[in-house]
Amino acid sequence: MSPPSGPRRPLQPIAIPVVPAPEPGQAPRGAATSALSAPAAATKEGTLLALPPLSLYVHLPWCLRKCPYCDFNSHESAPPDAALQGRYRQALVRDLEAALPQVWGRTVHSIFIGGGTPSLFEPEQVEALLADIRARLRLEPACEITLEANPGTFEAQRFAAYARAGVTRLSVGVQSFNDRALAALGRVHDGAQARAAVQEAAASFDTWNLDLMYALPGQTAGDLERDLDTALALQPPHLSIYHLTIEPNTRFALQPPSQLPDDDSAYAMLDRIIERTAAAGLARYEVSAFSRPGHRCTHNLNYWRFGDYLGIGAGAHSKLSFPDRLVRQVRWREPRAYMEAAERGQAVSNEHPIAIDDRPFEFMLNGLRLIEGVSLRAFHERTGLNAAVLEPALRRAVAQGLLVQDGLQLQPSARGLDFLSDLQALFLPA
């Protein structure tokens, strides 16, 4: 698809809002100050005055078959037996206990159990894990607890057992209902199993997600229509639809699939996805996420809004804020090495601070995926920086038709969503 000749929505010039300075005794009146700069004069650059919401991510790393497009930390294996599941759960508990001093007193707003294929773990192990977590962390009363599940690990009533175990939201990795496409993607389920799994999820959970992919090998516009027909007929409250991307260090990177749709065809598919989901009452609230009212994913919203998350499990990532610093952590990737390290209280393999110069890009990298965009006030609160540091990049983004402004709110334009990587790159440190 060639770049559009202009933005699809009218642009407004970027202006960092100003307010009068405080009353005498605090600062001289007449020196107009950024609304987001106070109390910058009294605090060190990069200091946070409040901590963002906190989520918990739990990684269960095993899967029956490593998909050729997958670059996650997943390890192909037969289903882990009861002994291995129990040992891994205890390692998660030790990992969490070692991390507790970093999150003392904070409330967890969401939990996401991802993988790998978490539904390889028995519901009883998931229930015990959630009890372990509740015994050590304060959870918000309405804490969203998501578990990823694949149709290839589906058994009748298994999803209902996860609901009884305390999971409140299921995410079903369908990817396609087309048997040929599923084979090309290396999935272990077929279309009939996918439909049965989604129906079971709908019967067991009030809120759940269906994952689809598009721009698949050999996929035609008609194939996409049939996938959308099937998916929308199942009336998911939340739908995630991802463009197949060839990531480094995957089998597809070494052996690229043939007959991938070209860029024009892929953009046409996305346009059709947006049309069909809107007509079905699913509002697009993030580049790849669509939901009915009240069913947006709390956990992913926290990621996109530059909130904090503690990650436990093999290869899990964390982003944690402290008044004087922001840090990222990574756990040991290989499952057995992780378990041994966690049992010693040393699950973290790498930790580094997020440099002040990197914070604008990291904030925008996530926030500009949201259709609603980002708030300059939230930028100040989550990074500890004055929004004025964004001004050069914001002016370039507006001039290129990638960004629009409404007061303190910055939104990617339709053009900006089409060329999101270009928009995000404008905020890279010089």
> Do the beta carbons of residue 171 and residue 149 sit within 8 Å?
yes
The pLDDT tens digits for 341-352 are 999 999 999 999
Q: Which residue has the higher pLDDT, 23 or 100?
A: 100
Is the pLDDT at 90 greater than 90? The verdict is yes
- Sorted by sequence, the CB contacts under 8 Å of residue 385 that are 6+ apart come out as 45, 46, 356, 359, 360, 379
**CATH code, 54-303:** 3.20.20.70
**CATH code, 359-425:** 1.10.10
Is the pLDDT at 409 greater than 70? The verdict is yes
pLDDT computed for residue 71 by the predictor = 85
pLDDT computed for residue 426 by the predictor = 98
Quick one: 28 exposed, middle or buried, by C-beta within 10 A (0-12, 13-18, 19+)? exposed
Among 65-74, 224-233, 364-373, 409-418, where is mean pLDDT lowest?
A: 65-74
The pLDDT tens digits for 150-161 are 997 667 689 999
Is the pLDDT at 40 greater than 70? The verdict is no
Q: Where are the beta strands (DSSP E) in 281-396?
A: 283-286, 289-291, 308-313, 317-322, 325-331, 348-353, 374-375
> Binning pLDDT at 50, 70 and 90, where does residue 214 land?
very high
What is the chain's mean pLDDT, rounded? 90
| Structural domain boundaries in the chain | 54-303, 359-425
Question: Using CA atoms, how far apart are residues 53 and 307, in angstroms rounded to an integer?
Answer: 5
Question: Using CA atoms, how far apart are residues 274 and 8, in angstroms rounded to an integer?
Answer: 15
In angstroms and rounded to an integer, the radius of gyration of the C-alpha atoms of the chain is 23
Is the pLDDT at 42 greater than 70? The verdict is no
